[in-house]
Amino acid sequence: MKFTVDRSQAEVKSFAKPGEYTVVVNSAKDEGLDKYGNPVVTIRYKAATGETASDRFTLKETLMWRVQSLISATDANIDDGKEFDFSVPGAFLAFLQGFVGLALNIVLEEEKYTDKNGAEQNVLRVKRLKKTPADEAF
């Protein structure tokens, strides 16, 4: 029997309800630039159950607290005071790709928004990143 890998055939399950989940950083993907010219990276988190959630990280001074939260939540091996130069093309993406495989807890909350057709929608968004308690780690 021959087998051809086709990831598009794999089932991707989103989390069904708000809550706190133990996950691993599964991937970090370059999403190009936002409308203001800031680099954007999408991180995908995956639980042991196969459920996934995505989170967008934008390289913007006012949003760097999110990167600090990711460092803290994953216990990444990065010393306080270490500096990174994200002005170098691709450096922000490469930095976030370094978190792939690290565990953390994410808190998902339901958020309402109006889509481009004017319809109200509900979506689960990553609202907080937390350390995974030692007894819950993968």
Question: pLDDT tens-digit profile of 18-69?
Answer: 999 999 999 999 999 999 999 999 999 999 988 999 999 999 999 999 999 9
The model's pLDDT over 86-116, given as tens digits with 9 standing for 90+, comes to 999 999 999 999 999 999 999 999 999 888 8
CA nearest 67: which of 47, 39, 92? 92
**pLDDT greater at residue 75 or residue 91:** 91
Range of the domain at 29: 13-136
- Domain assignment present for residue 30? The answer is yes
d(CA 30, CA 91): 11
Is residue 136 predicted with pLDDT exceeding 80? no
pLDDT at 56: 96
pLDDT at 9: 60
Report the amino acid identity of residue 39. Answer: P
- Domain assignment present for residue 1? The answer is no
- Domain assignment present for residue 47? The answer is yes
- Domain assignment present for residue 7? The answer is no
Tally Cβ neighbours within 10 Å of residue 99. Answer: 20
Q: How many domains does the chain have?
A: 1
Question: Dihedral sign, CA of 94, 95, 98, 102?
Answer: negative
Question: Please, which residues have CB within 8 angstroms of residue 6's CB and are 6 or more apart in sequence?
Answer: none
- Domain assignment present for residue 26? The answer is yes
Domain harbouring 29, CATH code:
2.40.50
Is residue 11 predicted with pLDDT exceeding 70? no
> Model confidence at 10, in pLDDT bands (50, 70, 90)?
low
- Domain assignment present for residue 92? The answer is yes
Helix, strand, coil share (%) of the chain residues, nearest 5: 20, 40, 40
- Domain assignment present for residue 81? The answer is yes
